[in-house]
Amino acid sequence: MKIPDISISACGYSQVLEIISNKWAGSVIYALEDGTLRYGEVKNRIEDISQKMLTQTLKQLERDGLVRREVKPSVPPIVEYSLTDLGETLIPCMRMLKGWALNHYSSVNKAREEYDRTN
Amino acid sequence: MKIPDISISACGYSQVLEIISNKWAGSVIYALEDGTLRYGEVKNRIEDISQKMLTQTLKQLERDGLVRREVKPSVPPIVEYSLTDLGETLIPCMRMLKGWALNHYSSVNKAREEYDRTN
DNA sequence: CGGAATCCCTACGGATACTG
DNA sequence: CAGTATCCGTAGGGATTCCG
């Protein structure tokens, strides 16, 4: 009996992670959850993000079709970001992840302390 | 009116990611979903994983209390891995992520092609 | 069989300075 | 205001070799 290779079934999983696993993507999606924000507003809502990483993350999310970028031609420039319909579909997943964390993260921390004490 | 800082509310999210966002953790959890496996069996089920990363991932998951490691004292050694109860609680989240990927990843790919063509 | 140890390369990401 | 550009340290992770 051959043991099945699960790489393929796990593959969908790694594709999502490719999108949301970077350090800031989640925070950006959360920030845009309530509606449209200007660049600076996004930055203000995410305390420790650097300007470089915010720009880079927004660009990646735009490329993935999750975030929409609109430039109002004016001086000084106004650039607004919002979730696309596709981006909205990700919200339930992220809520579930966050829910898991809130419910179980203390267990994880206890396990870590225990592990670090005995190893 | 002050714009709220969402760092704290996104924090739970980043905690889960800390656990499952590394390249192989998801695949390992999927591999153990059906029950107990020996080290080599896990390795066989995950096609392209290196020995180093499998060991490292298993150790991390064990430290987080998601995976249980049992050594049968014998020669040659037998080491078995399985999900803990805490580990099992993560399965629904991962199924949901995978479901999202299966439903929407083609849209992401289309968005990327479109983006790359016009930029 | 189930690792540990080492080497090495790359990508991620922070800090800083500059621009239309 | 909303970015670009550059420098640079660190961590992730592959390949290889060795060990109980």
Assess whether pLDDT exceeds 60 at residue B26.
Answer: yes
Distance separating alpha carbons of residues B99 and A76, to the nearest angstrom: 43
Nearest CB to A64; choose among B5, B102, B112: B112
Q: How many residues comprise chain A?
A: 119
Domains and CATH numbers, chain A: 12-118 (1.10.10.10)
Which DSSP letter does residue B2 get? P
Sequence-separated (6 or more) residues with CB below 8 Å from residue B106: none
Strands B67-72, A37-38: pairing kind = unpaired
Between A9-13, A115-119, B49-53, B85-89, the lowest mean confidence (pLDDT) is in: A9-13
Cβ–Cβ below 8 Å for A7 and B97? no
Concatenated DSSP letters of chain A: -PPPP-HHHHHHHHHHHHHH-STTHHHHHHHHTTS-EEHHHHHHHSTT--HHHHHHHHHHHHHTTSEEEEEE--SS-EEEEEE-HHHHTTHHHHHHHHHHHHHHHHHHHHHHHHHHHH-
Partnered with residue B96 across adjacent β-strands are none
What integer pLDDT is reported at residue B1 of this predicted model?
59
Give the residue-averaged pLDDT of B42-57.
94
The interface residues of chain A toward chain B in range 5-64, judged by CB-CB distance below 8 A, are 5-7, 9-10, 12-17, 19-21, 23, 26-27, 30-31, 41, 44-48, 62-64
Protein-contacted bases of chain C (C-beta within 7 A): 1-6, 12-17, 20
pLDDT tens string B82-93: 999 999 999 999
Assess whether pLDDT exceeds 90 at residue B60.
Answer: yes
Nearest CB to A47; choose among B7, B46, B62: B7
Distance separating alpha carbons of residues A38 and A46, to the nearest angstrom: 13
Alpha-carbon separation of residue A114 from B62, B63, B64, B100 (angstroms): 11, 8, 10, 35
Q: Assess whether the previous peptide bond of A92 is cis (omega < 30° from 0).
A: no
Neighbours of B3 (CB within 10 A): 13
What integer pLDDT is reported at residue A2 of this predicted model?
60
Indicate yes or no: strand D within 7 A of the C-beta of A12. Answer: no
Indicate yes or no: strand C within 7 A of the C-beta of A76. Answer: yes
Give the residue-averaged pLDDT of B9-23.
86
Cβ–Cβ below 8 Å for A112 and B4? no
Indicate yes or no: strand D within 7 A of the C-beta of A99. Answer: no
What integer pLDDT is reported at residue B2 of this predicted model?
61
Sole residue written with tokens 């981006």: A87
Distance separating alpha carbons of residues A31 and A11, to the nearest angstrom: 28
Q: What is the CA radius of gyration of chain A?
A: 18
Partnered with residue A91 across adjacent β-strands are none
Q: What percent of chain A clears pLDDT 90, i.e. is strictly above it?
A: 75
Neighbours of A95 (CB within 10 A): 15
How far does CA A22 lie from the centroid of its chain?
A: 7
CA B80, C1' D18: Å apart? Answer: 23
pLDDT tens string A64-115: 999 999 999 998 999 999 999 999 999 999 999 999 999 999 999 999 999 9
